[in-house]
Structure 1
Amino acid sequence: MELDDAYANAAYIEGAEAYPGRWAADAAGFREGMLEQGLAELDIPYGDSPRQVFDLFQPAGGAKGLFVFVHGGYWLKFDKSYWSHLAAGALEKGWAVAMPSYDLCPEVRIADISRQIAHMIPQAAAMVSGPILLAGHSAGGHLVARMATPGMLPAQVAVRVARIMPISPVADLRPMVKTSMNADFKMEMADAAMESPTLMLPMPGMDVVVWVGAEERPVFLEQATALAEAWRCELHIDPGKHHFNVIDGLADPDSRMLELLLPG
């Protein structure tokens, strides 16, 4: 359809086909190591369907707070098992890390996924005291941005959210209606508008940093810029990064990404 190429990432990333296998292998090795240390609890249920589960990784000492990472995949693919290794940076800095799976389109609608993540975060928050940090990539960037908008999180949880980082987010869903993916999303323009953080305002006091790779497809730079401008928040454009490696900084405790995400 009209915008399919604009939102096609893999076709413009060298060696794109190797990334999912590498992510899965790195994540599996990371989980094995955390389980051996007794620092991982896997497949904690937060809803009724099999995919409504999350993994919780704990730092070796007491946790400073909770970091929740929500994966991407255009609300159509992937699950938490591909991303476990991205917890390494925050864990080394003393933060517990929760990573959820969620139901996928077309079995559910995107609005349903937003509600699932809004239900998952309080359950994880009940297991770890202290401030809460949220980050998500691509479709996950949309989902964590939605958590910043009024009515999504319970007040007692929202007040604990110290920072949100949408990474390469799809923050305006209206263009998705003009892609072939909408056969699975089943959105009308009104549905897309109601799920678009760019068309909303965050709750007062929400600290948001939008992150995007400099080498991403132009629409992702446009989406990130539009969200940062609408919300009047910081925008960081990561030099040399494309849509698949822009998340690598989460695994590095000394990265600029974690420097901006984690409270000093």
Structure 2
Amino acid sequence: MIVDWDDAYANGPHIEGADDYPGIWQKRAKAFRDELGARARLDIAYGEGERQRLDLFLPAGTTAGLAMFVHGGYWKAFDKSTWSHLARGAVESGWAVAMPSYTLAPEARIAGITEEIARALGVASEMVAGPVCLAGHSAGGHLVSRMLCRNAPLGETLRARIGNVVSISGLHDLRPLLRLEMNRILGLDDAEAVMESPALQYPAEGARLTCWVGSEERPEFLRQNDLLANIWTGLGAETSAVHALGKHHFDVIADLEDANSALTRLLTGERN
């Protein structure tokens, strides 16, 4: 039985050197943008809001398709500039990678952020032809999973282009968050928690989802990971659940930098 719900969803206090990670991420992100030069197209508007901007990172040769990475931060922290380096693996595999920022809570509700991600995906998909794959971390894992829900705010043509979706350490049932102190910022109520929980929605036809989590993550993140894969399998989706050995919440995403990692190859559809 969980007594301290805030602790159950807290990651930093349980990761050695947690305070160092944001600075490391920001340095690696800037170095990657500088390395790409003109192939890093920054601050493309997908809406009128201040944070409704995305970066698009282009491969050197022919583009295989569009990948989009959505960052985490409990819908209330970070922006696209912290995560640019995570595009490296897909870019070196020939994919264009879009990374959007989005309006943060409490200025936006989670339902509104879902709509923003759908708009960002729509704009990016008009710029890059071919198949689409999605990955997101933590709250971003929730957001990319929402794009696979039957009630996602996407047109049928775009939805048909989406192949692999990887929810990394994703939050798929938002009802427990109603118990957390952070809900003073998120502003979730019962109705929105249900509507915005992928585990409580139907997957779109042909949905392919991998729920990927570090084996050393908090028990609630392990449960949230396996929950969605389990439920959606029973609703006809093609799903799998992966526990990445030895990874915690802050380093589980690092393999996206490596074109040859199992995580990147899964996202881009490489099987050999």
TM-score by length of 1: 0.98
Pairwise CA distance, 1:175: 0.6
Corresponding residue number in structure 1 for 2:22:
20
Corresponding residue number in structure 1 for 2:117:
117
Q: What SS does the corresponding residue of 2:103 show, helix, strand or coil?
A: coil
Mapped pair 1:133 → 2:133: yes
Pairwise CA distance, 1:190: 2.0
Residue identity matched to 2:15: I
**Which of 212, 232, 241 matches 1:235?**
241
Q: What SS does the corresponding residue of 1:5 show, helix, strand or coil?
A: helix
Mapped pair 1:7 → 2:13: no
Q: What SS does the corresponding residue of 1:157 show, helix, strand or coil?
A: helix
Mapped pair 1:172 → 2:173: yes
- Give runs of ≥4 in structure 1 deviating > 6 Å: none
Structure 1 residues 24-35: aligned runs within 5 Å: 24-35=26-37
Corresponding residue number in structure 2 for 1:146:
146
Residue identity matched to 2:155: P
Corresponding residue number in structure 1 for 2:264:
258
Corresponding residue number in structure 2 for 1:75:
75
Separation of aligned partners in 1, 2:98 and 2:92: 14
Residue identity matched to 1:109: R
Q: What SS does the corresponding residue of 1:44 show, helix, strand or coil?
A: strand
Residue identity matched to 1:30: F
Pairwise CA distance, 1:151: 3.4
Q: What SS does the corresponding residue of 2:97 show, helix, strand or coil?
A: strand
Q: What SS does the corresponding residue of 1:54 show, helix, strand or coil?
A: strand
Q: What SS does the corresponding residue of 2:163 show, helix, strand or coil?
A: strand
Residue identity matched to 2:215: A
Q: Deviation digits for residues 179-212 of structure 1, max 9, x if unmatched?
A: 0010011111222111100111210101111100
Structure 2's unaligned 5+ residue stretches are 234-238
Q: Deviation digits for residues 107-130 of structure 1, max 9, x if unmatched?
A: 010000000001110110000000
Separation of aligned partners in 2, 1:2 and 1:195: 23
Q: Deviation digits for residues 32-77 of structure 1, max 9, x if unmatched?
A: 1112xx2111000001111000000100001000000000000010
Separation of aligned partners in 2, 1:229 and 1:263: 22
Residue identity matched to 2:208: D
Separation of aligned partners in 2, 1:23 and 1:74: 17
Residue identity matched to 1:236: V
Pairwise CA distance, 1:2: 4.2
Q: Deviation digits for residues 158-186 of structure 1, max 9, x if unmatched?
A: 00001110100010000111000100111
Separation of aligned partners in 2, 1:236 and 1:67: 20
Separation of aligned partners in 2, 1:90 and 1:185: 32
Pairwise CA distance, 1:242: 0.2
Mapped pair 1:245 → 2:246: no
Deviates more, 1:75-84 or 1:250-259: 250-259
Do the aligned partners of 1:166 and 1:211 also contact (CA within 8 Å) in 2?
yes
Do the aligned partners of 2:52 and 2:101 also contact (CA within 8 Å) in 1?
yes
Corresponding residue number in structure 2 for 1:193:
194
Separation of aligned partners in 2, 1:218 and 1:16: 18
Corresponding residue number in structure 2 for 1:161:
162
Do the aligned partners of 1:2 and 1:178 also contact (CA within 8 Å) in 2?
no
Q: What SS does the corresponding residue of 2:8 show, helix, strand or coil?
A: coil
Separation of aligned partners in 2, 1:39 and 1:71: 21
Corresponding residue number in structure 1 for 2:85:
85
Corresponding residue number in structure 1 for 2:236:
none
Residue identity matched to 1:52: Q
Pairwise CA distance, 1:259: 2.0
Superposed CA RMSD in Å reads 1.0
Do the aligned partners of 2:150 and 2:205 also contact (CA within 8 Å) in 1?
no
Mapped pair 1:222 → 2:223: yes
TM-score by length of 2: 0.95
